[in-house]
Amino acid sequence: MIALRTRQDSERLEKKSLALYAQLSSTTRGRRHPHPPHLRRTEFQRDTARIIHSAAFRRLEYKTQVFLNGTGDHYRTRLTHTMEVASISRTLARSLGLNEDLAEAVALAHDLGHSPFGHSGEETLNHLLKDHGGFDHNTHSLRVVTLLESPYPDCDGLNLTFEVLEGLQKHATTRISSDLGNYTCASLEGQIADASDEIAYYAHDLQDGIEAGLIEPSELKNIEICARAAKIAGLNLDEADAREARFSLARVLSHCLIEDVLQSSAIRIIASAVKSADDVRRHPKLLIGYTEEGARQTHELRSFLYANLYFNPEVATANQRACNMLTDVYTAYLADPDQIGREATRRVPNCGLHRAAADYIAGMTDRYLLQEHARLFGDFNS
């Protein structure tokens, strides 16, 4: 007879195996709307399932990471990026003795609020809403999971745990809202998801840029972190072809960045003397992050990617054209609110027409927005 593991078994295992400063699922602050506990799954495992099963998560497959969705079979989409972030999050959490399930849940939800057409789409929506609260995909991710994605009849949103909602409020202390607690920082697991996001796009956006032919391997020899990764990989950037460079460089670069974060974070955690997850929340500074050298090197790489990939005319021109279409659709919705759909229309009395229209657009995939533009204005290419 096989002994089936229960939720209580998993919770006991967490207590035995995780660090003192890890967030245990058994000590969660719970959900805004209480739901009975599950027989088998911990609360954070339930959160992971709720996120993966959501429509917002499925739509990430058809949203831009860097290159417009559909322009290449191997380029990252927002969904594959999210999965890579979740994988890195589990690696970091496991190595530091933290709760992998919580880190994974935050990672899986971190981009649910992204608009179509990547960061260009986000910037466009932010400009359109400049007099109506602006638009930020991190903030909108919280709006998605607490309001817009509502599969349960008794409450709005996915009804995720406090700890996952906390982790979605990345970076700034001022964004830890009062109803989630007046804390300086998120849990270490929440901080991990943020660091993993950076590692993923540094390594993998670079890989996609090389595959697209927008970045030549030889251009990377003066980027310190890339030169170091190439040396470890035994790669001559002056002579390497694109295929060799994009595979080996991205792999070793990810490893270097992960190790840098692990070494730096371990030192910070020890120096902080935190003894519990709440000690982490009250700590004045983030404890997960790069070494000083790693931060400098990633800043250099980030500047290179903006100059040579994100602002490359082949990427920027296509994105701008798509964002002009996004603006057209938004303007059309304001002129004729009946066009925004039944669910968005219901929210107009509570949040206003501008926000309701933005909610609707932000939830669209790239291709659906193009279809909406065609429906409202005819064939864009005609």
Rg of the chain over all Cα atoms, to the nearest angstrom: 22
Q: Name the more confident of 52 and 245.
A: 52
Percentage of the chain surpassing pLDDT 70?
Answer: 94
**Does residue 105 have a pLDDT over 80?**
yes
pLDDT value at position 157?
95
Q: Which of 161, 239, 209, 233 lies closest to 316 in space, CA to CA?
A: 209
**Which has more pLDDT, 138 or 379?**
138
Per-residue confidence (pLDDT) for residue 181, from 0 to 100: 63
- Round to the nearest angstrom and report the end-to-end CA distance of the chain: 68
**pLDDT at residue 352 tops 60:** yes
User: Which amino acid is present at 366?
Assistant: D
Please state, for a pLDDT cut of 90, what percent of the chain lies above it.
75
DSSP 179: G
* Separation CA 150–CA 192 (nearest Å): 27
The pLDDT, as a whole number, for residue 269 is 98
Confidence of residue 382 (pLDDT cuts 50, 70, 90): very low
DSSP 64: B
- The pLDDT, as a whole number, for residue 3 is 85
Least confident of 93-97, 208-212, 251-255, 277-281: 208-212
Q: Distance between CA 272 and CA 1 in Å, rounded? A: 47
CB 63 within 8 A of CB 114: yes
Measured distance CA(4)–CA(10) in Å, rounded:
11
Model confidence pLDDT, tens digit, residues 116-163? 998 899 999 999 999 999 999 999 999 999 999 989 988 999 999 999
Q: Across the chain, what does the average pLDDT equal? A: 91
The pLDDT value given to residue 106 = 97
Is residue 7 predicted with pLDDT exceeding 90?
yes
Asked if 354 contacts 334 with a C-beta cutoff of 8 angstroms, the reply is yes
- Residue 350, token pair as written in the block: 């509570």
SS (H, E, C) 4-22: CCCHHHHHHHHHHHCCCCC
pTM higher than 0.85 for the full model?
yes
Whether the predicted pLDDT of 222 surpasses 80: yes
Poorest-confidence range of 71-80, 82-91, 284-293?
71-80
C-alpha 355: how far from chain center: 22
With residue 153 as reference, give the H or E element that holds it.
none
What pLDDT is attached to residue 174? 39
In contact, 77 and 66? CB cutoff 8 Å: no
**Cα separation values, 332 from 48, 191, 212, 339, Å:** 36, 39, 34, 8
170-221, pLDDT tens digit by residue?
A: 643 434 454 556 788 999 999 999 999 999 999 999 988 888 889 999 999 9
Of 43-47, 177-181, 355-359, which range is least confident? 177-181
Please give the residue that has the higher pLDDT: either 152 or 381: 152
